[in-house]
């Protein structure tokens, strides 16, 4: 079945450092890929998405590129802020009418220190 593997955390960075959170997936067909973020005490918020190979999703300075050849969707940000501290989840969609049946990675806790 479909699966998503994220780099193990937690990740601790200083403000303005470069961030990479690795995500690889196994899927049948051509799913869409997502990064969701969960701030403390809140729900899952869509951060960015990509719907096909070589698409780049971007939002709030975060980027991820859908790499079919390496089955990856790594999250990057050039300069993190304290406010980026959160849990980040990589996910893939189902296919067709199962689009909303998401498969999630285990989540990566990011802590950014001033």
Partner 1 sequence: EPEVTQTPSHQVTQMGQEVILRCVPISNHLYFYWYRQILGQKVEFLVSFYNNEISEKSEIFDDQFSVERPDGSNFTLKIRSTKLEDSAMYFCAGTPSYNSPLHFGNGTRLTVT
Smallest gap, in angstroms, from Cβ of residue 17 to partner 1?
27
Q: Specify the residue, 10 or 78, whose C-beta has the smaller distance to partner 1.
A: 10
Footprint of partner 1 (CB under 8 A): 34, 36, 41-46, 49, 89, 91, 97-107
For partner 1, the closer CB: 80 or 91: 91
| Contact predicate 35/64, CB 8 Å | yes
Backbone angles phi, psi at 68, to 5 degrees: -70, -35
Q: What share of the chain is helix, strand, coil (3-state, %, to 5)?
A: 5, 50, 45
Q: Which one, 20 or 98, has the nearer CB to partner 1?
A: 98
Q: What is the nearest approach in angstroms of partner 1 to the Cβ of residue 32? A: 8
Q: Which of 33, 29, 26, 71 is nearest to 50 (CA)?
A: 33
CB of 15 to partner 1, least distance (A): 27
């Amino acid at each position: 079945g479909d699966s998503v593997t994220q780099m193990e955390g937690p990740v601790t960075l200083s403000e303005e450092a470069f961030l990479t959170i690795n995500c690889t997936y196994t899927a049948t067909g051509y799913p869409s890929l997502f990064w969701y973020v969960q701030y403390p005490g809140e729900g899952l918020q869509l951060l960015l998405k990509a719907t096909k190979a070589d698409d780049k999703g971007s939002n709030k300075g975060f980027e991820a590129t859908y790499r079919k050849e390496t089955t990856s969707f790594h999250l990057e940000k050039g300069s993190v802020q304290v406010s980026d501290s959160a849990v980040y989840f990589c996910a893939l969609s189902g296919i067709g009418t199962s689009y909303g049946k998401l498969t999630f990675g285990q989540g990566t806790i990011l802590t950014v220190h001033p």
